[in-house]
Amino acid sequence: MHLTTTRISPDWPCQVKTPGSYDWERSAVKWLRELVPARYAGYPTLIRHPVLLARHAQIQVQHEIRVARTALQTARADLPRLGLAESVIEHTVKLYAAEVLQLQHIARSVRAVTEALVERGAAGR
């Protein structure tokens, strides 16, 4: 069963209960709400339909990855003009690189949760 694969996936977020367990969808919604801007997290349609919330979270995280990559790619050229010390620039470059990796992991986690939510919906039809 695919949910078993998702459950044991290293990408499954620890904040979300195992698919099929009691209240796992609620834990998924809570986690996904943290990934989107607060104004989106309050829309009733997104909360009533977790797969829509997951879709929006996927889009949001992909956007954040693009932003972090742009910041990383332009840091060495742009930051010296702001008068920052070389040590601050190097620290900032490392920060952006780490953020890209973290966001890529979150994106994989969102995909895993989305797949489980879609399977739950398909099973419930």
What pLDDT does 122 receive?
A: 53
Structure tokens at 43: 């829309």
Structure tokens at 97: 């690189």
More confident of the two residues 1 and 26: 26
Residue 35 burial by Cβ neighbours in a 10 Å radius (0-12, 13-18, 19+): buried
d(CA 87, CA 68): 19
d(CA 40, CA 38): 5
d(CA 105, CA 111): 10
More confident of the two residues 21 and 122: 21
Q: Where are the domains of the chain?
A: 24-124
What pLDDT does 3 receive?
A: 46
Q: What is the pLDDT of residues 76-86, one digit of tens each?
A: 999 999 999 99
Q: What is the pLDDT of residues 6-64, one digit of tens each?
A: 445 789 999 999 998 999 999 999 999 999 999 988 899 998 999 999 999 999 999 99
3-state secondary structure 2-69: HHHHHHHCCCCCCCCCCCCCCCHHHHHHHHHHCCCCHHHHCCHHHHHCHHHHHHHHHHHHHHHHHHHH
Q: Which band of pLDDT confidence, cut at 50, 70 and 90, is reported for residue 104?
A: very high
**Mean pLDDT across the chain, nearest whole number?**
90
d(CA 88, CA 119): 46
